[in-house]
Chain A
């Protein structure tokens, strides 16, 4: 059984040893280096582009909007963002002109020798700023997307409830800080334009190229290189960079590489959406949630990019894992003249869950209740409905999950110890806080139906198989877990399973590598494709699924073992023999098992009313954070962290633990350290010296525990976990700080400067 086993990362040695090839490692003969001339202001009209006559510009390839053969638009959800600004710029650092030269040094010198004269126009830099006509840049009111989720009658209950508690919470932008910066190589090959680079979604890039060049998709080939981290930052942006590199390559008639350095990457590419969330909550005296009114505002930046779906996921998660009969969530994503905000791990949910989980603690404080008890009284129970009307049916016992997390974090004992410590220490204060939350796996609502992902498993003459999907391994372990899933399904060893590079000329479109969908949705399709392969081999007699008691710590539920439909223990290598025999009988033919996504019948969703099953499956979690605040410096150190989650069957425990630890670290960074300083809507501190992500010294031991309750929707009961750990740390840490200081905080990042001002202004300094 490979699912549940700690198969070492298949791509690990290559990445450790340096043989893995990232895009900038690819040596290409005759390659030119491309660079970008950008807008100097947040908004304005381009008047003139001045090329310093001291340079010999005939040495350079120069591209502007007039060189775009198709539409001057980057095709994403909408097509509002130009590939290169033509008359108007909408954000600082917006690309205007591209240049390329054989010498990277000359290219950089030339960038300094081009000046763009822009006549400034009034810019809107704050989504809450009142609109005046000259600020309108998108439809009638600058609103990219509105979402309304309604259940029951919120107004009536708020009018009569014993307590109405309000709160307003704010979160900042966040930079992805993937290890490898954005990079793309474009070249011509057999009449096609090829884009090869760092990305999550090769078919998004393919579609964007086809649109900008006005050619069919077959005119392009997109090949992800080894990708060094992404976190959503390589979901939408690589489409921009691929168009740029391809435009230069086409005009030059030579290969062109565009590699951003860290400063350009941080200044000019997407970030997490800043948010403002307001809560108005009706509760009874026992702390039962009677009505929730939640108002979500996201700063979308200058173009639509992914904002509508980020807002959608944010609004659906705004109510978290709680039951309430009366709910109204209203959300808006609005335009500002900031660098476009885009996809980032969690996708709107971390913002709304921060607000919710802080607000739950605020309610507890106002009512004089223990925050644990308040949660216990309101957590979803089987049969209750969530905000969209989805029935809570397959999830774990959330109260038991919470209790186990408290036990693992020694919650009660630590609270007592901290109270005693805080009475005597001159300047250190300790506290403990928690967050309970959930994260939906896969695209929201009917998104997966719309994607209609396809996968294939090809049986090769030597008895091994090749797995064909568009999923990219950006460090999260796709290659390894797909190997485990397919090996189990077909009774093969991992060495007999090859994962194809997600080259669009070879693999079917299985959709983007995003939204915690890879294991659950694509892994599930791989199971079906394996079944299909087996049927084509005539080996489709299915043995019943064996159940076994899960061994080892962290497992207290029975665990499904084995892939669907094939008992590998009973017939080791049998399928491999069958494949070889088939090929002997059908020389020169291909043997593929295929599958395409079909929404399970019981998953019903209405995009217009936001009613139905928002996600087929969720992951559930309870996190406990312990902090120590130094009142000399107002620095917060997280001293202990317990992350307990129910994610269905864990496919690879080491990789899963790594995902959780990485997400918690990123969440702590967002909560305490990472402040994007904006100037004219663009990142001013675009350097790793001035944008502090936590080091190992700034992080606590992150203790990870799994509950494994197999889901009916993922392969062998696995669901999604990639984004989940980003949701909990910020509220858990802030709740702990509020507990330590007996105060109420509503804004992250909670930098020492912000905490100092709060404490001094509250007279607690």
Chain B
């Protein structure tokens, strides 16, 4: 295993560029033994490399920030050939977040805790705080980053649904320059993203618009410190409805058929009617945490009772 520890963003981008063309950088610093889960967030290089000629044995360089995903079951996994890009020295450049009249910009190293401890952000984007408080325990909230949550690409991600419902955009940077991708177009499949190996998520931009309604609900196996079995975030603003669900498809996804039904002013008499519409949006599975039937049923019931409930948060 090797660990690269850049001290500036430029250096980090250079390392990513080098790795993406088979570059073997300096010897790791602070290298530890052990292993990790498969780098599932890494895009398939043969498909995504811009140059098209990737050195066959070059290990993918995995950016690591809080490490709250990568370090799970760390010592039970083989680590030979693993390469990490340790972002811990880039805090001054990538950790601050910025709130203006028109948008919130989260840095690549902005943590959940940074957001929950900011009264201004909490007032402007309440769902971010609600979601962040349900991520692991306080220790995880202090280490885990919003960008890492996006980068890891889990369909059960806690931070992604609310960001997507707020219409967030992912800022990717490489030596070649910066691009922005709407978060709802970021994922291409289970743990597959549009990010090229030479790109780093450097920021997340969330537009600040007046909202008519906003709501988030997470269902886990218990009330705290749980991975979601199903979660839903709903926002209605000038750009329309965005209904985002997690753990019901290979990726965190927008429920576009259901959004359209809401936009059309359709009303629902039973949860089953909602479930019928959602069937075109989601494809839940049975796994170790829950069942497809439960996920589909509960998502429709949550939405049904939320629509019914006049006391719902506006």
Contacts and interface: CB of A to CB of B under 8 A. Distances in A.
A and B associate in one complex? yes
Interface of A: 105, 108-109, 112, 261, 263, 426-427, 631-635, 637, 673, 677, 684-685, 687, 689-690, 692, 694-695, 697-698, 751-753, 756-757, 760, 765
B60 to A, nearest CB: 21
B162 to A, nearest CB: 19
Given A698-B222, A760-B297, 19 more contacts: A105-B34, A426-B305, A426-B308, A427-B301, A427-B305, A631-B301, A632-B305, A673-B222, A684-B288, A689-B227, A690-B288, A692-B222, A692-B226, A695-B222, A695-B225, A697-B223, A752-B294, A753-B294, A765-B271
B289 A632 contact: no
20 contacts: A105-B33, A261-B76, A427-B301, A631-B301, A632-B302, A633-B301, A673-B222, A687-B73, A689-B227, A690-B227, A692-B220, A692-B221, A692-B226, A694-B222, A695-B222, A695-B223, A697-B223, A752-B294, A753-B290, A756-B297
A540 to B, nearest CB: 57
Interface in B214-237: 219-227
A633 B302 contact: yes
A261 B222 contact: no
B264 interface: no
B95 to A, nearest CB: 27
A631 B302 CA distance: 9
A632 B76 contact: no
A694 B220 CA distance: 12
Nearest to A759: B297
Contacts of A633: 219, 298, 301-302
Interface in B266-314: 271, 288-291, 293-294, 297-298, 301-302, 305, 308-309
Interface in B193-221: 219-221
Nearest to A106: B33
Of the listed residues B219, B294, B302, the one surrounded by the most CB atoms of chain A closer than 10 A to its CB is: B294
Interface residues of B, number: 30
Contact of B309 (A426, A637, A697): A426
A685 B225 contact: no
B72 to A, nearest CB: 8
Contacts of A263: 73, 76
B54 to A, nearest CB: 27
A179 to B, nearest CB: 15
Interface of B, helix, strand, loop or mixed by DSSP: loop
A261 B226 CA distance: 20
Contacts of A108: 75-76
Interface string B15-41: 000000000000000000110000000
A753 B219 CA distance: 12
B224 A695 contact: yes
Contact of B293 (A109, A673, A757): A757
B50 interface: no
Nearest to B76: A263
A261 B302 contact: no
Given A635-B219, A673-B222, A760-B297, A685 B288 contact: yes
Nearest to A105: B33
A695 B294 CA distance: 22
B78 interface: yes
Interface string B46-83: 00000000000000000000000000110110100000
A482 B308 CA distance: 60
A695 B301 CA distance: 25
A496 B138 CA distance: 43
A633 B290 CA distance: 12
A191 B294 CA distance: 61
B223 A698 contact: yes
A157 to B, nearest CB: 43
Interface in B100-137: none
A112 B73 CA distance: 15
A425 to B, nearest CB: 11
B210 to A, nearest CB: 28
Contacts of B309: 426
Contacts of A698: 222-224
Contacts of B290: 753
A256 B27 CA distance: 34
A112 B78 contact: yes
Nearest to B33: A105
Contacts of A632: 298, 301-302, 305
A400 to B, nearest CB: 37
A354 B20 CA distance: 60
A261 B288 CA distance: 20
A261 B73 CA distance: 10
Nearest to A757: B293
Contacts of B221: 673, 692, 751
Interface centre among A109, A632, A684, A757 (most CB of B within 10 A): A632
B127 to A, nearest CB: 18
A685 B75 CA distance: 18
Contacts of A109: 78
B272 to A, nearest CB: 9
B289 to A, nearest CB: 6
Nearest to A637: B223
B191 to A, nearest CB: 17
Contacts of A637: 223
Centre residue among B78, B224, B293, B301 by max chain A CB count within 10 A: B301
Interface in B169-185: none
Nearest to A753: B294
A247 B293 CA distance: 49
A751 B297 CA distance: 15
B288 to A, nearest CB: 5
B134 to A, nearest CB: 10
Contacts of B298: 632-634, 752, 756
Nearest to A634: B298
B222 A697 contact: yes
The 8 A-B residue pairs with the shortest CB-CB distance, nearest first, are A692-B221, A697-B223, A105-B33, A753-B294, A632-B301, A697-B224, A695-B224, A698-B222
Contacts of A684: 288
Nearest to A679: B288
B297 A677 contact: no
A200 B49 CA distance: 58
A751 B229 CA distance: 12
B298 to A, nearest CB: 5
A757 B305 CA distance: 19
